[in-house]
Amino acid sequence: MARRRKPPRAGALSELQPLKIATQIATLQALYYTTAGILMLFTALVAGMSFSVDMILGWDAVRGDTTQGWLLSFIWLIDGGLCMAVAIVVLIARSKLVPDFALTIHLLHLVFTTLYARSLPRHSMWWMTMMASAAVAVALGMWGCRYRELQPVFFGGGRILGSNSAPAAASHGQVAAEEGQAGLDDDDGRGGAEDDGFSRGRGRGRGKDGAGEYEMVGMKQAKD
């Protein structure tokens, strides 16, 4: 008889299959270069520069001794830091995986740049830009994922966590208080009726002043 496989626990690593991870990395890398191309093209049109693939896959233009180099560095910082942080929050949405994906994007960019230029980047400005971009992506990505993880959870049409939990508890407390007040009013009404009718027999009631309880005991008339 074949052994039954145990069902995977919630949040197990089976959710992160190799094909799924590769697809997510490819998607993020495609978004990385697509966003960079759009930003570079817009910058080239506005600044009057000539647009080429070297602006995306090259490293020679990112340098600290020219205004164009600082401008390209700023664009890479926006692309790899801000845009990729938003993409990771939307596609990955897990704070523990943010550093892995953010660093993988920049590492692959280093590999593609080296293969395209046939040499490692030699400008310190390029290296500082990539490190700053990776740091911003990790910081903003983790903050965004944690903020998303702490959002209210809806279950069965109701909100489990969030701002509505306090009003709900207050409403339940108000209902309980109203029910308790109604019970006290009924007790007072019964007690007043008994006092007005001078009822006899055993019973328990509340004093007129509302303080304490007393026990009613039948009284015998004295014989002459």
Cβ 101 vs Cβ 93: under 8 Å:
no
In-domain check, residue 126? yes
In-domain check, residue 77? yes
In-domain check, residue 203? no
Q: How many alpha carbons lie under 13 Å from residue 188 in its C-beta half-sphere? A: 10
Question: What is the spatial distance between Cα 212 and Cα 24, in angstroms, rounded to a whole number?
Answer: 72
Query: What percent of the chain is predicted at pLDDT more than 70?
Result: 61
Q: What is the pLDDT of residues 134-146, one digit of tens each?
A: 999 999 999 999 9
> Phi then psi for 160, rounded to 5 degrees?
-85, -45
Question: N- to C-terminal Cα distance for the chain?
Answer: 98
> Phi then psi for 213, rounded to 5 degrees?
-125, 160
> What's the total number of domains in the chain?
1
In-domain check, residue 7? no
In-domain check, residue 41? yes
Give residue 33's domain range. Answer: 18-150
Per-residue pLDDT of the chain in tens (224 residues, 90 and over written 9): 556 666 655 544 455 588 899 999 999 999 999 999 999 999 999 988 888 899 999 999 999 999 999 999 999 999 999 999 999 999 998 889 999 999 999 999 999 999 999 999 999 999 999 999 999 999 999 999 999 888 876 665 555 444 444 444 445 555 555 655 555 555 555 545 444 444 444 445 555 555 555 566 666 666 65
Q: What is the pLDDT of residues 116-164, one digit of tens each?
A: 999 999 999 999 999 999 999 999 999 999 998 888 766 655 554 444 4
| Residue 80 vs residues 27, 101, 166, 182: alpha-carbon distances, Å | 14, 12, 40, 64
Closest CA to 105 of 73, 127, 143, 137: 137
Mapped to the 3 state alphabet, what secondary structure does 123-137 carry?
CHHHHHHHHHHHHHH
The token duo for 133 is: 């971009």
The token duo for 42 is: 């817009």
- The model carries a pTM of 0.62
In-domain check, residue 205? no
In-domain check, residue 209? no
Contacts of 82 (CB under 8 A, 6+ apart): 136, 140
In-domain check, residue 113? yes
